[in-house]
Amino acid sequence: MKIISYNVNGVRAALNKGLSQWLEAAAPDVLCLQEIKAEESQVDTAIFEHLGYHHYWFSAQKKGYSGVAILSKVKPDQVVVGCGIDYIDFEGRVLRADFGDLSVFSIYFPSGSSGDERQEVKMRFLSDIQSYLSEIQKERPKLVVCGDYNICHEAIDIHDPIRNAKISGFLPEEREWMTAFLKEGYVDSFREKVKEPHHYSWWSYRANARNNNKGWRIDYAMLTKNLESRLKSATILPEAKHSDHCPIVVELD
């Protein structure tokens, strides 16, 4: 199973930049999208159906904001919209699809970069989503938690760890949360396969950051440890340019 996760920073904008042609060539079995910034009715979903995908959407209540989607070649056994936590579901941040004994999540973690209030929401989210996933694991122990986590875990995951040490996305408390999350029984699929630096999934639009590869690795496909033996490959696709993020790929046997 080939799973791709992609923060598209507006699915309609990404489609205008050639997303459908890229998707046809990449041909994942499952595509997890974040920050779709649209309702299903605003998207030409026939594009995805033509490529053979079932599609499921969860938009934020606020227009043009947040939202997640999952596309899959095989129809899921079950799709669960939201996580039952009001403030998270209001922003359309969690969507799950079950395929046999495997559950795939598309999650858009909040950013705290706009100020203290949103940073507080982010930290609350981190605690709540960890508890939620722990509960899910009791019934669905095999999880692939894809998404834009809005956190760089280690210094290797960010182009300038010194200057960004006090910036949201690389704060000590965020990084500590991710360390604790992994210790709870998850595997960072990309770091299992790739140990070298300078691999990023997001770049600022400012200062020619992408061309200079001054980026952050904030998009992940986290696997529960019971899937570690099935991990075939994990890659990042920086050449795909439909967003300020790029897609990440995980392949399971």
Residues with catalytic annotation?
148
User: What type of residue sits at position 198?
Assistant: H
With left for phi above 0 and alpha for psi between -120 and 50, is residue 185 left, alpha or beta?
left
Closest to 95 in 3D by CA, of 108, 110, 80: 80
C-alpha 178/C-alpha 159 separation (Å) is: 19
Q: How far is CA 103 from CA 21, 136, 156, in A?
A: 27, 10, 29
**Residue carrying structure tokens 């704060």:** 171
